[in-house]
Structure formats: structure tokens, C-alpha cells
Structure 1
Amino acid sequence: MNIEKTTIKDLIVIQPSVFRDERGYFFEAYNEAKFTANGLDYKFIQDNQSFSKRGVIRGLHLQANPFAQAKLVRVLEGEILDVAVDLRKESPTYGQHFSVVLSAENKKQLMIPHGFAHGFSVLSATASVMYKVDQIYHKESERGIRYDDPTLNIDWQLNPDEVIVSEKDLVLPGFKDIDWGF
């Protein structure tokens, strides 16, 4: 398992060691001891899975404290652009975002700590995304930022005419309108 630091502190890309033979492949998607040894000390309590078609943008989502969630995101089928936005006010990268292509083929995972908004766009015909979280879902703590916020200026790698966004996500506030105290 290779743990790669990103341009944003505490945001990690994980590239598992994949063992292939004539039967197929095997890899450890998660190993608590290896995570802990690398300073990634999370206790995951739930796995979530979504299926989406090309053009779907989910996000940018988060939960406010004390229900903030850390997420370990991976793709089971297809390809996505996974995006995390640093919302930690004391961070030198506050308001910056990082994106990485996650796919069933590259098997990369993104470890998103507390204090980040998260979203993804589907780049393939369809995609199945699975992610672990370390906190329960708490509806009253749900927050989000519009996917097309001009301050963040995220390139979702989609043509505007193919973007599909939920009604719920279309009414989210812009980045300049948030103050959630991470």
C-alpha cells in the first residue's frame, strides 16, 4: 500500500498493492494497522455505496461538527473525478480544492479527513462508488456548497450540457456564504 501526500495537508491518496495472476487480482482496500502506522487513525463505522451515470455531479457535501465525517472513497466500477475542498479555517490551504481520478482500473482511494467538503463527477458511462465513514449520518448536520461555485472554480471535467445535479444540490450556498467553524 502506497500512501501519497497531496498538496493539501492531511488529504491522502492511497494506491493499494495489487496482486495479479491467472485468476484475476487481489488487494487490501483497507488495513487498520497500515493506516495507523501512517498516522491515519480513523474508526470507520459505516460503508456507503452509490451508482450514477455519466455527467452526474454529487456534492459538494459534508456534515457539520460534531457529526463531521472522514471518508475513504474508492470506485468499484467506472471512473470519477473525486474532489475535496479544505474548509479548515486555520489551514494554509483553506478554500483550496484537490481532485484526483479514481477508477476501478487504477484502484486509487482518497482519504478525506474532517473539515472537508466532498463531491465527485462521473466520467465513465456509469460508476459505482463506495466509501467508508467514521461518523453516523445526521440529517440536521448536513451541509453543502454549490458544485459550480465561482470562487472554488472546480473543473469537473464534464461539458456543461451533460451535467446532472440533484435539485437539493442546486440550492446549496456558495463558498462565500458559509461559516461552519472547522
Structure 2
Amino acid sequence: MTVEETFLKDCFIIKPSVFEDDRGYFMESFNSIQFEEKTGIKTTFVQDNESYSSYGVIRGLHAQGGIYAQAKLVRVLKGEVLDVVVDARKDSATYGEKFEIILSAKNKLQLFVPKGFLHGFAVLSETATFFYKCDEFYKKDSEFGVIYNDADLNIDWQIPLEKRIVSEKDKGLPLFSSLS
């Protein structure tokens, strides 16, 4: 696996080694020893989640706070998404900055999202199956978020306005400035 740090501290792009032949492919999607050696981060994932969505679905921007803050390792099993993270760590030099990456079944890239980051994605393909590992269990009371179309974040979700499918819950999230 190769690891590339983004300009957001502790946020990494993970490219697994993929072995392909006429039968298909094999890849090791996660190895804790290699991950720690290459990132300096020791993590234990305790929960796996999977979602299936159609073109135009935007999920996010979500996080958990306090002692239940979650780090995530995200990837796409089928289809293609625009994955977006925003640094919401108030003591960070990159507070309020965003990082975007295309994750797909084809490119097999993964993104490590550190604790304290908001996370969301938009489905760019007809459908997408999205998979993520979390280092903390889901805790509803610690969940928070920011509205996906916050003008200050200026995220281009790559989905035309009339084709966007957003939950009522996500449409009601506050602006990023409310976190300060």
C-alpha cells in the first residue's frame, strides 16, 4: 500500500496494492501494521458501515464530537463518489479547509478521515456502494453536522442543483460558522 498525506494534517489517501490477472483481482484493503508505519497513527476500527445510494445523493457533512469523535477509513465498493472532508478541529492550522477526492470501485483509493473532521459524499455514478470503517461506535447524542451547501465552504458537489437528493435532516444542518 502507498500512503499520501493531504494538505490537511493526519488526512491520508491510501492506495492499496492490487494484484490483477485474468481471474480478477486481489487486494489487502487494510493492514494495521503498515498503516501505523506509514502514517504514525495507531487505530483500532470497531464498526464497519455500508451505504447504497443513487446518482445525485449527497450525504453530509457529518461528524461525532467529544469522546465519541470518529476516525474513518472510507472507500467505494461500487460506483463513484466525490468524497469531501472539512477540518473542524478548532486548534488546527487548517481549520475550515476542505479536501475533495474522487473515490471509485475502479481507482480503489481510500481516504483516512481523522477525528474532528466533517465528512460527506456525493454519488456521481448511477449508483454507489460506500464502505467505511470507524474507530468509535455510533453515538447519536454526539453527532453534529454542517449544511452541505454552506457558501463559506464553497463545495462543488458536481451534481446539478435540480438533481441533488438530500435528506431533510441534512438540509436542516447549521452553517460552519456556528461551530465557532
Question: Same fold by TM (over 0.5)?
Answer: yes
Runs (4 or more) in structure 1 with deviation over 4 Å come to: none
Work out whether 1:60 is the aligned partner of 2:61: yes
CA distance in 2, matches of 1:139, 1:75: 24
Identity across matched positions, percent = 55
* Amino acid of the structure 1 residue aligned with 2:59: R
* Amino acid of the structure 1 residue aligned with 2:37: A
The TM-score with structure 2 as length reference comes to: 0.98
RMSD between aligned alpha carbons? 0.7
Deviations 1:6-48 (A, max 9, x none): 1111110001111001110001100011011121311100100
* Amino acid of the structure 1 residue aligned with 2:168: E
| SS at 1:66 equivalent | helix
Residues 32-111 of structure 1: matches in 2 within 5 Å? 32-38=32-38, 39-111=40-112
Aligned to 2:161: 160
| SS at 1:169 equivalent | helix
Structure 1 gap segments, 5+ residues each:
none
Deviations 1:150-177 (A, max 9, x none): 1101111111111000000011000111
CA distance in 1, matches of 2:162, 2:82: 17
The TM-score with structure 1 as length reference comes to: 0.97
* Amino acid of the structure 2 residue aligned with 1:31: N
Deviations 1:55-104 (A, max 9, x none): 00000000111100000000000000000000111211110000000000
Aligned to 2:152: 151
Work out whether 1:31 is the aligned partner of 2:25: no
Aligned to 2:10: 10
